[in-house]
Amino acid sequence: MRLTLAILILPTAFKICYHLASFKSYKYLIMNSPFADAQTLIPGGVNSPVRAFQAVGGEPLYIQGAQGAYLTDHLHRQFIDYVGGFGPMILGHSHPKVVQAIQDAAAIGLTYGTCNPLEITMARLVKQLMPSIEMLRMVNSGTEAAMTAVRLARGATKRNKLIKFTGCYHGHCDALLVAAGSGATTLGVPSSPGIPSATTEDTLTVPFNDIKAVKALFSQFPKDIAAVLLEPICGNMGLILPEKGFLNELQALCQQHDSLLVFDEVMTGFRVALGGAQSLFNIKPDITVLGKIIGGGLPVGAIGGRADLMQQLAPSGPIYQAGTLSGNHLTLAAGTTTLALCQDASPQLYAQLSDYTHQLTAGMRQAADRHNIPLQTAAVGGMFGFYFSEKPVTNYVEACKSDQALFRDFFQAMLAQGVYFPPSAFEACFVSQAHGQEELRHTLDAVNQAFASLQA
């Protein structure tokens, strides 16, 4: 009898003890948040500014794992993820073939400081998918790739001036951190102390989609402009598409004035289409900056373009660039596997991503209409964005006029329902192959409830 009673009671007692322990652990984590500790050890508590949640309030998520379309934080809460590492996780988190590729590569070494065969595999694959790229140089981040593109353009043309677009973000290198988007916009810091004025005096800025402003600069400096650098689809001031003919006119102006057209496809490369944004708009830039997806989730960047330009990089030419970890075989194992899987799944993969983003943004607009909330949306391939604005958004100034306080409240309402959007009104959102109808239904239900609470 006693044995029987013990058998019945012990599991219940164990569960009670387990939950008490979990509750104590939960209380400890709440009372001693990782962010509080991080702020004593890391500037601002974060290693990249947008993560600090300054634009949306509250404390940043601390993620301890991710699978498919979901993130799991240190409190074991799950979130449908629309950040996707800010772009690279096109196949979803922890794709088994990508993970296996990384494990296999790690088993034979971590870094060599030498050449490795996967460098050739990556270059050949990118060249096949993006015909404008005849040669490729691997680097370690999008910032490094954009910095190299500027140096190459200036060295090749023997000109100094550069046109960039207000709100386009090309990393934190000095010459390009002018009227930047992304975290710089979120924090209200369009440039940064520590950058000498002489470093940026040759960086000319104009509004995105304003071809007249670009023509005016070419008229003012007809033989001085080395390159026009832009995101062909802006992803660092929300998501803004180029107006019809804008990219074609930019290319014509560059050709007319012997300047170089540089596409920053760090986000859009292999994300909006297998051939990137340049394939959607049938444009062949002279130089392309890549990142995100070509690393499969590991740190990466690359610069590619016409062979006559690329051969001017050292050691085949005089324009110096180097990197100890450039072309690291761990990153290339993840990146080549990811690209190959995207290629094998195309065109169905990109049709699936596009269908999801368009269904989601259409559902968001319908919910906004029901609750009389002003909302503008955009979607292309596996990227989408939205603004709380009465009018369509076509440039940085219009993006800044959107209701950021409303975005903050919406972000928090969605987070409370297990949906994670980028913690900034000026970041694009991303979906993956792992996002399906269940995630779509949950997200749209959460959107409807969030809008209802905002209206109240």
Query: What integer pLDDT is reported at residue 308 of this predicted model?
Result: 98
Q: Is residue 24 part of a domain?
A: no
pLDDT tens sequence across 305-329? 999 999 999 999 999 999 999 999 9
Tokens representing residue 73 in the block: 């934080």
CATH number at residue 386: 3.90.1150.10
Q: Are residues 118 and 151 in the same domain?
A: yes
**What's the CA dihedral at 364, 48, 181, 419 to 10 degrees?**
0
Angle at the Cα of 265 (from 186 to 440), degrees rounded to 5?
70
CA-based nearest residue to 262, from 170, 173, 174, 339: 170
Q: Are residues 315 and 168 in the same domain?
A: yes
Radius of gyration of the chain (CA): 24
Q: Could you say which of 345, 379, 402 is where a domain stops? A: 345
Q: Is residue 269 part of a domain?
A: yes
Report the pLDDT averaged over residues 39-44. Answer: 94
Q: Are residues 285 and 155 in the same domain?
A: yes
Q: Is residue 281 part of a domain?
A: yes
CA-based nearest residue to 228, from 286, 174, 141: 286
Provide the 10 A C-beta neighbour count for residue 357.
26
Q: Are residues 144 and 182 in the same domain?
A: yes
* Band of residue 32 on the pLDDT scale cut at 50, 70, 90: low
Q: Is 409 a catalytic residue?
A: no
Q: Is 350 a catalytic residue?
A: no
Q: Could you say which of 345, 373, 399 is where a domain stops? A: 345
Contact, 307 vs 120, CB < 8 A? no
Report the pLDDT averaged over residues 345-356. Answer: 98
Report the pLDDT averaged over residues 153-173. Answer: 93
Query: What integer pLDDT is reported at residue 290 of this predicted model?
Result: 98
User: What is the chain's mean pLDDT, rounded?
Assistant: 90
CATH number at residue 250: 3.40.640.10
CA-based nearest residue to 271, from 322, 240, 233: 233
Q: Is residue 27 part of a domain?
A: no
Tokens 């940064």 sit on residue: 192
Q: Are residues 184 and 253 in the same domain?
A: yes
Q: Are residues 295 and 371 in the same domain?
A: no
Among 264, 286, 396, 420, the active-site one is 264
Q: Are residues 299 and 382 in the same domain?
A: no
Query: What integer pLDDT is reported at residue 184 of this predicted model?
Result: 46
Contact, 138 vs 324, CB < 8 A? no
Query: What integer pLDDT is reported at residue 26 of this predicted model?
Result: 38
Q: Is residue 18 part of a domain?
A: no
Q: Is residue 25 part of a domain?
A: no
The predicted model scores a pTM of 0.89
Q: Is residue 212 part of a domain?
A: yes
Report the pLDDT averaged over residues 220-238. Answer: 96
β-partners of residue 67 are 70
Per DSSP, helices labelled H in 69-136 are 96-107, 117-129
* Band of residue 173 on the pLDDT scale cut at 50, 70, 90: confident
pLDDT tens sequence across 379-392? 999 999 999 999 99
DSSP for 261-286 reads: EEEE-TTTTTTTSTTHHHHHTT---S
Tokens 């051969």 sit on residue: 311
What is the rounded distance in angstroms from the CA atom of residue 270 to the CA atom of residue 275? Answer: 6
Tell me which residue range forms the domain holding 291.
96-345
Among 81, 82, 164, 292, the active-site one is 292
CA terminus-to-terminus distance, the chain: 59
User: What is the three-class DSSP state of 385?
Assistant: strand
* Band of residue 174 on the pLDDT scale cut at 50, 70, 90: confident
Domain count of the fold of the chain: 2
Q: Are residues 123 and 197 in the same domain?
A: yes
* Band of residue 138 on the pLDDT scale cut at 50, 70, 90: very high
Q: Is 169 a catalytic residue?
A: yes
Q: Are residues 69 and 146 in the same domain?
A: no
Q: Are residues 199 and 106 in the same domain?
A: yes
Residue 196 scores a pLDDT above 90? no
Q: Is residue 15 part of a domain?
A: no
Q: Are residues 322 and 352 in the same domain?
A: no
Q: Are residues 108 and 157 in the same domain?
A: yes
ω before 196 within 30° of 0 (cis)?
no
Residue 176, C-beta contacts closer than 8 angstroms, at least 6 positions apart: 146, 147, 150, 164, 170, 203, 229
Q: Could you say which of 292, 320, 345 is where a domain stops? A: 345
